[in-house]
């Protein structure tokens, strides 16, 4: 089974970027502790555009899709709705390679 990468795009309402960023960071920091299918994640953001991105690697396409029916994820999504200028966009990609330079 190939790993799957989800590119989640969170577009904040004007003036709500930091709140969205804080929720996204807190959610994934907690979620990786309780969701064994979540392999790793990277959070990036652009306060000027009001956009937060989460690049989340899952063990499989099935586990990436299953998150949509997880009540914890649904609660997270509901918390974000009033802070967002558009619905969260989630794009799925096959994981090809990750390389990290040794420290």
d(CA 64, CA 38): 8
101 domain residue, yes or no: no
Q: What angle do CA 63, 10, 48 make, to 5 degrees?
A: 145
62 domain residue, yes or no: yes
The total number of structural domains in the chain stands at 1
Would you place residue 100 in the very low, low, confident or very high pLDDT band (cuts 50, 70, 90)?
confident
100 domain residue, yes or no: no
How confident is the model at residue 68, as a pLDDT? 85
Phi/psi-derived region of residue 39, left when phi > 0, alpha when psi is between -120 and 50, beta in every other case: alpha
Would you place residue 1 in the very low, low, confident or very high pLDDT band (cuts 50, 70, 90)?
low
- What is the pTM assigned to this prediction? 0.91
Whole domain around residue 57: which residue ranges?
Answer: 4-94
Q: What is the CATH number of the domain that holds 15?
A: 3.30.70.100
45 domain residue, yes or no: yes
44 domain residue, yes or no: yes
Q: How many Cβ atoms sit within 10 Å of the Cβ of residue 67?
A: 21
Tens-digit pLDDT profile for residues 70-94? 999 999 999 999 999 999 999 999 9
Would you place residue 9 in the very low, low, confident or very high pLDDT band (cuts 50, 70, 90)?
very high
């Amino acid at each position: 089974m190939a790993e799957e990468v989800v590119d989640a795009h969170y577009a904040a309402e004007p003036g709500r970027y930091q709140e969205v960023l804080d929720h996204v960071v807190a959610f994934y920091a907690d979620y990786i502790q309780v969701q064994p299918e979540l392999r790793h994640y990277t959070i990036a953001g652009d306060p000027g555009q009001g956009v937060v991105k989460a690049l989340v690697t899952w063990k499989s396409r099935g586990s990436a899709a299953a998150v949509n029916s997880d009540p914890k994820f649904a609660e997270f999504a509901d918390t974000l709705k009033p802070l967002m200028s558009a619905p969260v966009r989630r794009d799925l990609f096959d994981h090809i390679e990750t390389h990290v330079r040794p420290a």
